[in-house]
Amino acid sequence: MEAPGMPWEQQQEQHPTDQRTLPIEMQFNDGHVVAIIGFSILFVISSVGNSYVLYSIYKSPTKKHMNLMLSHLAVADLMVTFLMMPMEIGWALTVEWRGGDLLCRLMSFFRTFGLFLSGFMVMCISLDRYFAVLQPLAMRDANHRGRFMIAAAWLASAVLSLPQVFVFSEMRHPEYQWYTQCVTFRVLPTHGQQVAYSVIGVVTMYIAPLVTIIFCYSAIILEICKRVVDTGSKLRRSNSANLYKAKIHTLKMTVVIVAMFIVCWTPYNIMLIWYWIDRSGASAVDQKVQKLLFLFGATNSSFNPLVYGIFSIKRPSVAAAPPSNAKITTITRLKRPNSSTAGPEMPAKIMQQV
C-alpha cells in the first residue's frame, strides 16, 4: 500500500510553474534521513533475529508443526527484511524512483507480500494454539491442519499482493517532467479510489490479524481458567501447579503479542486513516513524523523473533524428556474415547501447546 502524502495535483496548485522550487516531499529532507536510519537499524535487528530463530528451530530437540509455522513466520519476516527494507532505504536516498516501471511493479508486489505473509502466519500460530487447547483430542489432525493453514497464508498473501503489480507504475510528474515516481495515480486517480483500495489493505493486514489474535488467546485463557475451576479439586497438587503456570504463561504471552502487534501497526494505520479523513491536514504533518509512523509497520518483522522465540521455541530441559512410561500413559489416556480433556496429564499438554 502507498504511504500517505500530498497528491501531485495538489502539488501542482502550490507550485504551478517554478521549476527551481520543488515541494518538500520531492526533496531530500529530514524525513528521508529518519527513514534511512530507522530502516537500517531494523534491517540489522530483523536479519539477525530471524536468522537466529531459523537456526534455533533447526537445532531444536522437538520437531513439530509449531516449529514449522515459526520457521515460515521467520521466512516472511526475512522477506520484509531483504526485499522491502533495502528498497525503502534506496528510495529514501534517491527520493524519486529510478528503477524503471517493471521494477516499480515487482517491488510494489514484494513490498506488501512479506507484510501480508507475516500477519497471516501470526494468525495461523494463534489459530493452531486455539485448536490445540480447546480441541486437544484432535492432535492427530494438527499437522495436516497446520500445513493447510500455511499454504492458505502463502496463497492469500500472493492474491492480495497481486493488485500492486497493476495499480503501481512509474509516472513522470505532470509539472516537473524530469521527476519520476512509483505511484498509483494512473490507475487510482481520485482520493476516493485510493481510500477504497487502502481500506482493503488495512482490514486484511491489520484488523483481521489483530481480531484473530485477541479472540484466540482470550479463548485459550478462558479455557484454562475454566479447567482450573472445574477440575482443581481432582488434580494432583503438582498438576494443579502446572496448570496454573500454563495460565500465567499464556496470559503473559497474550499481553506481549497483542501489545506488540498494536504498537507496531497502529501508528501507521492512524496516519493512514487521518489521511483519508483530512488529506490536507495529514499532508501538513512534519515529514519526520510521517516517515517515522510509516516505519512502524516494518517493526513487527523485527520484533516477532524476540516474542515468538522466547515463548515458543523449545529448549532442552528435564520436562522436555519425560520417562517413556509416562509418555505411554499419557498417549493411552488421550486415546480413550471417554477420557476427560481435563485429566491429570492435560496440564503438561497445555503447557506444550501454549
Question: What pLDDT digit, counting tens, does each position of 273-283 carry?
Answer: 888 888 888 87
According to the model, what pLDDT value does residue 312 have? 65
Confidence of residue 241 (pLDDT cuts 50, 70, 90): low
DSSP state of 61: S
* 3 part of a folded domain: no
4, part of any domain = no
Name the residue with higher pLDDT: 33 or 272: 33
Report yes or no on 11 lying in a domain: no
Whether residue 9 is contained in a domain is answered as no
**Is residue 159 assigned to a domain?**
yes
Give the span between the Cα atoms of 257 and 202, in whole angstroms.
19
Residue 222: the pLDDT is: 87
- Listing DSSP states for 167-210 in one string gives H-EEEE-SS-TT-EEEESTTT--SHHHHHHHHHHHHIIIIIHHH
Q: Residue 104: give the domain boundaries.
A: 25-353
7 — pLDDT class (breaks 50, 70, 90): very low
Cα separation, 268 vs 265, in Å, equals 6
DSSP H or E segment with residue 118? helix 100-134
Q: How many independent structural domains does the chain possess?
A: 1
In a domain, 12, yes or no: no
**20 within a domain of the structure (yes/no):** no
* Selected residue with higher pLDDT from 163 and 314: 163
- The residue written with cell numbers 522477506 in the block is 79
**Which CATH number goes with the domain that contains 98?**
1.20.1070.10
- Which one has a higher pLDDT value, 17 or 183? 183
Q: Is residue 7 part of a domain?
A: no
Give the Cα separation of 224 and 254 in Å (integer): 13
